A and B are shown apart, each in its own frame.
Chain A
Amino acid sequence: MTTTPTRAVPHRPPSTPPPPRRRRTSWLPYLLIAPTLLATAFLLLYPLARNVIISTQEFGLPQLVRGHARFVGLANYTRVLTDAEFWAVVRRTLLFTAINVVLIMLLSTLVALLLVRLGRWTRLLVMSGLVLVWATPVIAATTVFQWLFQSRLGVVNWALVRLGFEGYRDYTWFADGPATFAILVALIVWQSVPFAALSLYAAMVTIPAELYDAARMDGAGAWRVFTTITFPLLRAMFGLVTCLEVIWVVKAFVQIWVISQGGPGQATTTLPVYAFQVAQSLQRYDLGAAVSMLMVLLLVLALLAYFRRLYRQEEVS
């Protein structure tokens, strides 16, 4: 190591303009992205294409075992799209996503704002807590939540009763649709806040302190500072985090499957759970494939606005 970056900088003759970036690189970028493209083609696009094919066939357990699936055109899609249950699931997924994402963004913004204002040691403490949550594997976290809300031995019911809510003695959380829904929201929010909060916090510390000082001199309150400085400056960051959270929440599967398998009734059946139920429990892989393709389509549509912005933004940068 002879040239450390810090030493390298002063060496640069100030008068020389930076070397043109496009020099001799016409083939280089394509070479660099080739492995990613190849992997995506074989490991993602090809299975996806197979999934599309399955969704146009009659494909159940016998076809999986023997092969020879029959082409049925769009029959599976027609069946799914005309099923009232599917649309109920879509509506539920939208509601589930909206509640989760709003809560995640709200709480993580508050936590990030709190982090900025905390002293060194308290901040380290809170951040370690967040990191601990983040490092907790999904399976472990999900199992613990089941255990916390267990009706007879769960600590949540015990605490509620101690606090005077007698009605929660042996309260059966997982028997009630809205209660199970709420627990799943709590679990997913609990798991997602650390990433969002730490990202927003890191973005917030990049805002020069002078801006805040100036605003405070003008007598702006905390809310005004947030709406006039923090949010506008971090608009892109908020957009990115929201978009990632939308994707993760919509795709959340393990948590729901382990805790409620979509029940009770269909109270917590979101799209991925529904697709899995249809495919694996009913062994209608064809219908499951159709549902999953529709889900991807819906997700793309939902985030279309963001993608368009992303696409334009790239042009500028």
Chain B
Amino acid sequence: MTGRLLRGLAALVVFAVSVFPVYWMVLTAFKPTRDIQAGTPSFLPLSPTFEHFATATSAHGFWSFWRNSLLVAGGAVLLSLAVALLAAFAVARLRWKGRRGFILMVFIAQMTPWEALLIPIYVIARDTGLLDTLWMLTLVYFMITLPFTVVTLRGFLAAIPVDLEEAALVDGCSRAQAFRRAVFPLLAPGLLATSLFGFITAWNEFAFANVLIIKDQDDRTLPVWLSSFSSTFGTDWGATMAASTLFMLPVLLVFLALQGRVTTGIVGGAVKG
């Protein structure tokens, strides 16, 4: 009985510690500025206001920030899923010379310190005329997410029994057909999980977006917007928290909508990683 109680208590603590910072962010976003500045914080939205959301959404070019972020993050994720799926299949299902070296390469590629490549990538973009385009940004985000995507997808594939595919082959399917019919449905949660992870990474990126998009203001992305509530006079915490709330909303919605499938997906992939 005490064991049960202790476990319940521990669960509560884990939940509270996880959720509190996020709760505090959303709460601050709804508080009037006076309450934010108050000496004694209130833990409930006593007089909720939308003023900070109004400030946040009235920013110049608000919609183009969203469109660009969705385009760039979405494009990068789709591209890396397509490319990674092929590679993951080769690694998980086929035997070939150089396979181990390839796996090692992908693993090491995850260790790239991207902030350090800012200057070389800038120079390359300049030399190829890709500066100031969303294309370049998409390509960079694609490469940032690719190694992780290969590793996880390979894990998901490995977790799916080969028998299913072989059975389909025996049924007279081609390899591609077998893959599509037998493996793909089982792989779907894994694909979703991996793409969400890649999406979050691309969604967050600021350093490259700041340097690669120069004159074309309509090509700026959301993290730039998120930092726009600080001025020489200071940070507008209410607006920053409101913007952060909006910023994490799409990711959160997709996550919650897919909750069960995504978590089993991610963990499934990691198990065999």
Chain A residues at the B interface, C-beta cutoff of 8 Å? 1, 3-5, 8-9, 11-13, 16, 18-19, 21-22, 25-26, 28-30, 32-33, 35-36, 39-40, 43-44, 46-48, 50-51, 54, 64, 111, 114, 117-118, 122-123, 125-141, 143-145, 147-148, 153, 155, 158, 190, 194-195, 198-199, 201-203, 206, 237, 240-241, 244, 247, 251, 253-254, 271-272, 275-276, 279-280, 285, 288-289, 291-292, 295-296, 299-300, 303, 307, 310-311, 314-315
Interface residues on B, range: 35 or more
* A32 touching B237, Cβ below 8 Å: no
Contacting residues, chain B, for A145 (C-beta < 8 A): 21
CB 8 Å contact bits of B2-41 with A (1 = contact, 0 = none): 0000011011001101110110110010000000111111
* A12 touching B124, Cβ below 8 Å: no
Please, how many angstroms separate the alpha-carbon atoms of A147 and B37 in the complex?
Answer: 12
Contacting residues, chain B, for A303 (C-beta < 8 A): 111
B209 CB to closest chain A CB (Å) equals 12
Tally of A-B Cβ pairs under 8 angstroms: 293
B216 CB to closest chain A CB (Å) equals 20
Contact A3:B11 (CB < 8 A) given known A43-B139, A254-B204 = no
Check: B135 CB closer than 8 A to any chain A CB.
no
B169 CB to closest chain A CB (Å) equals 6
Contact A202:B99 (CB < 8 A) given known A40-B105, A135-B252, A137-B203 = no
Interface majority SS (helix, strand, loop, mixed), chain A? helix
* B124 touching A39, Cβ below 8 Å: no
Contact A254:B18 (CB < 8 A) given known A19-B170, A29-B96, A48-B117 = no
List, sorted by A's number, 29 A–B pairs whose CB atoms are closer than 8 Å: A5-B182, A8-B182, A32-B87, A32-B94, A33-B90, A33-B91, A36-B86, A39-B83, A40-B105, A43-B139, A43-B143, A51-B120, A126-B11, A128-B256, A131-B255, A132-B255, A136-B252, A137-B200, A140-B226, A143-B25, A143-B240, A148-B21, A153-B37, A199-B266, A251-B113, A254-B204, A303-B111, A307-B107, A315-B100
Check: B162 CB closer than 8 A to any chain A CB.
yes
Please, how many angstroms separate the alpha-carbon atoms of A47 and B82 in the complex?
Answer: 23
The residue on A at minimum CB distance from B226 is A139
Contacting residues, chain B, for A240 (C-beta < 8 A): 270, 273
Contacting residues, chain B, for A289 (C-beta < 8 A): 116, 119-120
* A40 touching B109, Cβ below 8 Å: yes
Please, how many angstroms separate the alpha-carbon atoms of A60 and B232 in the complex?
Answer: 28
B252 CB to closest chain A CB (Å) equals 5
Please, how many angstroms separate the alpha-carbon atoms of A138 and B96 in the complex?
Answer: 39
Please, how many angstroms separate the alpha-carbon atoms of A248 and B118 in the complex?
Answer: 18
Contact A33:B102 (CB < 8 A) given known A19-B170, A254-B206, A299-B111 = yes
Please, how many angstroms separate the alpha-carbon atoms of A129 and B143 in the complex?
Answer: 30
Please, how many angstroms separate the alpha-carbon atoms of A39 and B182 in the complex?
Answer: 29
* B271 touching A9, Cβ below 8 Å: no
User: Which of B89, B119, B140, B169 contacts A43, CB < 8 Å?
Assistant: B140
Check: B112 CB closer than 8 A to any chain A CB.
yes
Other A-B contacts than A43-B139, A296-B112, 17 sampled, CB-CB below 8 A, are A3-B173, A25-B94, A33-B102, A36-B150, A39-B143, A43-B140, A128-B259, A129-B14, A135-B252, A140-B245, A140-B247, A143-B25, A194-B18, A195-B266, A203-B270, A275-B115, A314-B103
